[in-house]
Amino acid sequence: MDFDWKKLIGGVAPALGLALGGPMAAAAIKVIADKMLGNPEASKDDVAAALAQGLNGDQVIALRKAEQEFDLQMKQLEIDVMQLNKDTEGAYLKDVQDARARQVANKDPTPQVILSVLFVLWAATFAMFYFGTLPDDEFVRALIVRAYATVETGLTGAIAYFIGSSRGSKSSGDTVRAIAEGK
């Protein structure tokens, strides 16, 4: 299981954790890197590596100071991070709805064709792995595996187009949880 450093930050500094999940992530990382590592130019990977080592008391205090500084910066700029994340999610969902509505209105077969081609490619590659023998050349083998992964990723996206995505499921689940908690 991979270490979820954003969840750790969200537990210590909820406003920063919220910002890391939206369009203000770069600003949040800059503040965290400055307070925790003393280097505002440190990368997201540098922050993740530092957090993977665990947090001591000084780092918890640094994260809380980073959150206070971030909140102050957002208030000075009159930015509501929660509303910004909500608007971004809404724009994403509207884009998905528009794409599906366009396909229905135009009776465009392109998405079904793409799904069918990707499925055939995926099944053929899978069959090659299962029934065939991969070449001895490591480079060619790596290319075949890479091609399989690319087709599988495309297939996953095509399926998500028709049945929805885990992002949509998460959004629905969050809404149901908020209603259940009376928020």
Domain boundaries, the chain: 5-81, 109-180
Which has more pLDDT, 155 or 178? 155
Per-residue pLDDT at 151: 92
pLDDT mean across residues, the chain: 78
pLDDT band of residue 122 (cuts 50, 70, 90) is very high
Residue 127 scores a pLDDT above 80: yes
Q: What is the DSSP string of 86-147?
A: HHHHHHHHHHHHHHHHHHHHHT--HHHHHHHHHHHHHHHHHHHHHHS---S-HHHHHHHHHH
